[in-house]
């Protein structure tokens, strides 16, 4: 659990006290995604998300991305979309992890199709 001081000042771990109070007094619960993130809206139209775990903007799945960014589409009010066979499950940003892409990770010397002329 985060200490009381962290909840007041540190915004990148969890929602702060101010965000929690805003959500309690002014927020109307709109829905919840498959990751457990909760989406709220107030009377003036402001929208925000309370993340379940670590705060990372890439954890908003594409079903909710258009809603949170006010993008118009014909199925804006329906948040349970049909998944197709070719769609991959959502993954958070992999930068800085072992799963991140790096060209040298996959291109070994034995796969080279040329020989350097300087040794």
Between the CA of residue 45 and those of 30, 35, 57, 69, 106, what are the distances in Å? 12, 24, 20, 11, 47
Residue 99 lies in a domain: no
CB of 71 closer than 8 Å to CB of 55: no
pTM reported for the whole predicted model: 0.61
Domain count, the chain: 1
In a domain, 116, yes or no: no
Q: Tens digit of pLDDT for each residue in 73-108?
A: 554 555 556 777 887 777 778 888 888 887 776 655
Take residue 79 and report the two structure tokens written for it. 């948040």
Tell me if 33 sits within 8 A of 79, measured CB to CB: yes
Boundaries of domain holding 55: 28-81+88-93
119 pLDDT band, cuts 50/70/90, is low
Residue 10 lies in a domain: no
In a domain, 69, yes or no: yes
11-65, pLDDT tens digit by residue? 656 677 778 888 899 999 999 988 889 999 999 999 999 988 777 788 888 778 8
The full DSSP string for 59-119 is GS-HHHHHHHTT---TTTT---PPPPTTPPPP----TTSTTS--HHHH--GGG-SS--S--
Q: Is residue 35 in some structural domain?
A: yes
First to last CA, the chain: 57
């Amino acid at each position: 659990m985060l200490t009381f001081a962290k909840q007041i000042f540190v915004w990148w771990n969890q929602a702060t006290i101010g965000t929690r109070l805003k959500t309690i007094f002014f927020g109307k619960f709109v829905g919840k995604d498959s990751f457990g993130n909760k989406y709220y809206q107030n009377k003036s139209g402001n929208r925000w998300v309370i993340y379940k775990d670590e705060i990372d903007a890439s954890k908003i799945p594409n079903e909710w991305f258009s809603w949170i960014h006010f993008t118009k589409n014909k199925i804006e009010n329906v948040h349970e979309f049909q998944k197709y066979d070719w769609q991959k499950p959502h993954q958070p940003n992999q930068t800085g992890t072992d799963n991140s892409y790096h060209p040298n990770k996959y291109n070994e010397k034995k796969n080279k199709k040329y020989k350097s002329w300087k040794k």
